[in-house]
Structure 1
Amino acid sequence: MTGATNRWWLVIAAGLAVFMVALDSSIVNVALPSIGQAFHARASLTEWAILGYLLPAVALVLPAGRWLDRSGRRPAFVLAVAGFAVSSAIAGAAPGIGWLIAARVLQGAFGALLAAIFPALVTAAVRPEVRGRAMSLVATLGPLGAVTGPALGGVLIAAVGWPAIFYINLPVSLVVIGIGLRTIEAGGRLALPDRAWLLESALLASASAVLLAALTQAPVHGLAWLLGTLVAVPLVVAWGRLPASRPVVDLVRSSGIAGPMAALLLNVTGIAGLGFIAPFFLEEMLHAGSAVTGLTALALPLGMASASSVGGYLADRWNPRGMTAIGTAVIATGLVLISPLSGGWQPADLAWRLALVGIGMGLFAGPNMVVAMRHAPGHLLGTAGAATGLARSLAFALGPAVVTVPWALTGYSITGMRAAAVLAVASVTLAFAATVAAWVVRRRAEPAPVELGRAA
């Protein structure tokens, strides 16, 4: 860090930006009927108000990180937040469904830039001894934003109308820009994209978009969509042959970020898969209503929020790698307890188990980000942050796709649900193995301390 004091206002600004980006990933869901009526559009068209946001938000995050490593952080942050605000205003004032979808694509692109920049900002904003708490704060606000979206959207639509769900971003963005201008060091310019960056971005964005589309459509339209993931393979291979890919490959191989990325991908895959199955179990097997189902699902993010500060504090005072292992073990314990999916349960029986999974995620998320960013070279902080963001986003799509396979093969029965829960447990078990393995490898690679008096 370049300053002498911790810049907590910058951490708060980064957290607000992450909350806003996550909020916009879910707040539109409840507005689709109103949008369809306003523009006389079919449901198959209005759903692109969601997909148009998610696809660039995931597909562009790694290219955005590569661009950030060549640009000044203050102008990049201001551009990202201002662009998100302007595209939100365009979405709210859209005269037709086409304008709305185009504005959502722009929102997603600037959201990708914000997702890539926040880990680098938080890493530089505070001293290493409090970085776990800072990362945990920001890591918690993302899931809370996604959970808050439908409820806040419903209130705004009922009180003001659907455009308000986009206009709400404007005052928040102004506050975030103001904090950024006061707390981020001046210096650096926005790098102009060159031909090599455009080619690299096109390949990475195309591969990410193909993966996301295949994984998100498979649970809804059939497992044949999973074959679409094969299209991404030649795109990734072509990117790997570019000279521009070498810093990213070296980052993953040698910096210590591979273990945290693998643990994040596997943990979130298991949790997202379980989160996909849980509402069906509640409504089809326990005959719970939609209100009870929604309240039960809230147990997971509330558990995460309750434990994140503890995870960050212990990571700072003890060891962030140790906290990632403990958090993963708690997640695995919660999923094992969920896996029976007994028909004799009440919603509360599932709720406390989900809360335990959330507590584990709260203990894991911030410390894992600290580990990932701690070992990234200073000139690749943007790429490192973007890589973890991409792993997280793909995992949210991968989880439902993975658990749908056994569920669909058993005719969408309770047996298939239980098999899906077992797969979620297996994913988190692999995450624990990856965390411990990375910890052991890193400890062996560190030089042994030299005792006083024995130095040569």
Structure 2
Amino acid sequence: MTPVRDRWLLVYAAGAVVFVAMLETSIVNVALPAIRDDLGSDPALTQWTVLAYLLPVVALVLPAGRWLDRVGKRVALVVSVGGFAVASAAAGLAPGIGFLVAARVAQGVCAAVMFALMPVLATLAVRPEARGRAMSVLATLGPLGAVTGPPLGGLLLGVAGWRPVFFAVVPVAVAIVLVGVFAMPDDGPLAVPDRHWLAEAALLAVGAGVLLVALTRTAEAGPEWLLLLLPAAVVMGLWWRMPASRPVTTLLNVSGVFAGHVAVLLLALGFAVMQFLLPFYLGDVVDVGPEATGLTMLAFAVGMGVAGPVGGVLADRWGAWRAGAVGAVVVTVGLLLVQPLSPGWEPLDVVWRLALAGIGMGLYGGPVQAMVMTAAPRALIATTGGTIQLARNLGFALGPAVATTVWAVDRYSDTGMRTALAVGVLAAGCGALTLGAHWWRRARNRSATVDPGRQPVPERSSSR
């Protein structure tokens, strides 16, 4: 049912959901040495503090979306965000590294549901004509959470140690739960997944988990870890042949949905390549300290934060695909201007280029997500939330792996760094071309099926 009025409180609650979930992907990184020293663990085991969160997020976000299509959204919000708060507090109270890793796994499971749920909340909370602005709230606050994580974690670490790094999200999570309890209608119970769903989730978890380990370890230990992509592909191929995959294949055959997913993955990959390489460039080539590096990297977040609301307005007034395609082009141009990585640059030379790329990301993110969610069948709206988040997370995970692999070919030289960033620019450009091609096909189809002065004929589903 289309809402008779826009409920922006729910939209901002959904934005807070994605903010805290993304914050937890990055805030812990700066605290790893302190956790290692305080809990007496070795570096390899301490690293699982990060992986224990990321693995269930990537592995379970699609099954979570499939499950959310069958249950009440209010109770799912309360349970997932409430569970996230409890797991965060448990992580902050952890007496040992094993307890901490277990708490992080619980956080990741809840976050997978949250990632799949938040675009559903924003979609259901507003009328279609306001959906671009609603999705831009999510598309802005999510990356801001990821970018805010390291400086906020460093501040908390310096003032009070590593445990407040986990406690910081608890008050926000409690506030979100209260919004869910008092501002959302009761739309059904929380059904227990059946055994078929559990089998599907297990297979997807294994495939996506192996894929994430391959990509993460490639970025840390070398390209040989890419060999794990073979068993991951086999497992995902088995899932693709299961009846449970049919809703996903049906979804991807809807006009524009596949193009949107491809663009989201490729642009996330290009952004992640840049985010991975620039700290090395600023530290090793420009020779600036970590404080200057952090401030320089914030330029992307500032540009995106400024442009995000503009992207939403353009999507609602100008058309989501058109606004998204223009934003994707601006992202690509910004990354292209960063790509030379001249040894003579100062941090300010990088700042304005990063800000331009961030402006493009702000213009692009909300409109494309709004168009995909609008095009999706109503019965698969939560599945769509899961698939779009999976595409984005895979892009973020692929970026460091691609950058490391290409950079290593040239023995980690400055030239190899530029080549790796050029690959990221190429990926972003392909994402922009994907959106532009779909925009052109839409315009051509409408010109062939619409008479002057008459209403457009609804688009038919097309194969990918």
Counterpart residue identity of residue 266, structure 1: L
Counterpart residue identity of residue 405, structure 1: T
In the TM superposition, 1:48-197 aligns within 5 A as 48-197=48-197
Who is 1:448 aligned against? 449
Who is 1:274 aligned against? 274
Who is 1:412 aligned against? 412
Cα contact 2:222–2:405 (8 A) shared by 1: no
CA distance in 2, matches of 1:184, 1:322: 32
When normalised by structure 2's length, the TM-score is 0.95
Who is 1:10 aligned against? 10
Counterpart residue identity of residue 407, structure 1: W
Counterpart residue identity of residue 89, structure 2: A
RMSD across aligned positions (CA): 1.6
CA distance in 1, matches of 2:148, 2:237: 39
Cα contact 2:137–2:309 (8 A) shared by 1: yes
Who is 2:460 aligned against? none
- For structure 1, which segment, 169-178 or 100-109, has the greater mean C-alpha deviation from structure 2 after superposition? 169-178
Counterpart residue identity of residue 346, structure 1: E
CA distance in 2, matches of 1:248, 1:255: 14
Counterpart residue identity of residue 279, structure 1: P
Q: Secondary structure, in 3 states, of the residue corresponding to 1:327?
A: helix
Who is 1:423 aligned against? 423
Q: CA deviation at 1:233?
A: 1.3
Q: Does 2:265 correspond to 1:265?
A: yes
Runs of 5+ consecutive residues of structure 1 not aligned to the other structure: none
In the TM superposition, 1:228-243 aligns within 5 A as 228-243=228-243
CA distance in 2, matches of 1:219, 1:452: 56
Q: Secondary structure, in 3 states, of the residue corresponding to 2:376?
A: coil
Q: CA deviation at 1:379?
A: 0.9
Who is 1:336 aligned against? 336
CA distances 1:265-309 after superposition (whole Å, capped 9, x unpaired):
111111111111111111111111111111111111111111101
CA distances 1:401-431 after superposition (whole Å, capped 9, x unpaired):
1122221111111111111121112111211
CA distances 1:142-168 after superposition (whole Å, capped 9, x unpaired):
111112112222222333332222222
Q: Secondary structure, in 3 states, of the residue corresponding to 2:449?
A: coil
Cα contact 2:14–2:122 (8 A) shared by 1: yes
Q: CA deviation at 1:226?
A: 1.0
CA distances 1:148-190 after superposition (whole Å, capped 9, x unpaired):
1122222223333322222222221221111112222212111
Q: Secondary structure, in 3 states, of the residue corresponding to 1:356?
A: helix
Cα contact 2:20–2:169 (8 A) shared by 1: yes
CA distance in 1, matches of 2:423, 2:453: 51
Who is 2:458 aligned against? none
Q: Secondary structure, in 3 states, of the residue corresponding to 2:316?
A: helix
Cα contact 2:263–2:432 (8 A) shared by 1: yes
CA distances 1:217-269 after superposition (whole Å, capped 9, x unpaired):
11221101111111111111111121111111110122421011111111111
Who is 1:34 aligned against? 34
- 1:20/1:424 CA distance change after superposition, 3 Å: same
Who is 2:459 aligned against? none
CA distance in 1, matches of 2:453, 2:301: 48
Q: Does 2:222 correspond to 1:218?
A: no
CA distance in 2, matches of 1:113, 1:374: 20
Q: Does 2:245 correspond to 1:253?
A: no
CA distance in 1, matches of 2:442, 2:385: 20
Who is 1:402 aligned against? 402
Q: CA deviation at 1:193?
A: 1.1
CA distance in 1, matches of 2:207, 2:106: 19
CA distance in 1, matches of 2:17, 2:101: 21
CA distance in 2, matches of 1:68, 1:222: 37
CA distance in 2, matches of 1:156, 1:427: 36
Q: Does 2:431 correspond to 1:435?
A: no
Q: Secondary structure, in 3 states, of the residue corresponding to 1:298?
A: helix
CA distances 1:107-129 after superposition (whole Å, capped 9, x unpaired):
00100100000111100101111
CA distances 1:323-377 after superposition (whole Å, capped 9, x unpaired):
1111111111112211211111111111111111111100000001011101101
Q: Secondary structure, in 3 states, of the residue corresponding to 1:254?
A: coil
- For structure 1, which segment, 71-80 or 437-446, has the greater mean C-alpha deviation from structure 2 after superposition? 437-446
CA distance in 2, matches of 1:341, 1:98: 42
CA distance in 2, matches of 1:341, 1:88: 39
Cα contact 2:151–2:294 (8 A) shared by 1: no
Q: Secondary structure, in 3 states, of the residue corresponding to 1:4?
A: coil
Q: CA deviation at 1:441?
A: 3.1
CA distance in 1, matches of 2:444, 2:237: 32
Who is 2:318 aligned against? 318
CA distance in 2, matches of 1:191, 1:306: 40
Q: Does 2:244 correspond to 1:244?
A: yes
- For structure 1, which segment, 117-126 or 175-184, has the greater mean C-alpha deviation from structure 2 after superposition? 175-184
Who is 2:350 aligned against? 350
CA distance in 2, matches of 1:440, 1:382: 28
Who is 1:363 aligned against? 363
Who is 1:208 aligned against? 208
Q: CA deviation at 1:398?
A: 0.7
Q: CA deviation at 1:445?
A: 4.7
Q: Secondary structure, in 3 states, of the residue corresponding to 2:82?
A: helix
CA distance in 2, matches of 1:157, 1:345: 32
Who is 1:294 aligned against? 294
Q: Secondary structure, in 3 states, of the residue corresponding to 2:187?
A: coil
- For structure 1, which segment, 253-262 or 77-86, has the greater mean C-alpha deviation from structure 2 after superposition? 253-262
Q: Does 2:47 correspond to 1:47?
A: yes
CA distance in 2, matches of 1:23, 1:54: 12
Counterpart residue identity of residue 55, structure 2: L
Aligned length: 454
Q: Percent identity?
A: 50
CA distance in 2, matches of 1:376, 1:274: 31
- 1:157/1:289 CA distance change after superposition, 3 Å: closer
Counterpart residue identity of residue 57, structure 2: A
Q: CA deviation at 1:453?
A: 9.4
Counterpart residue identity of residue 391, structure 1: A
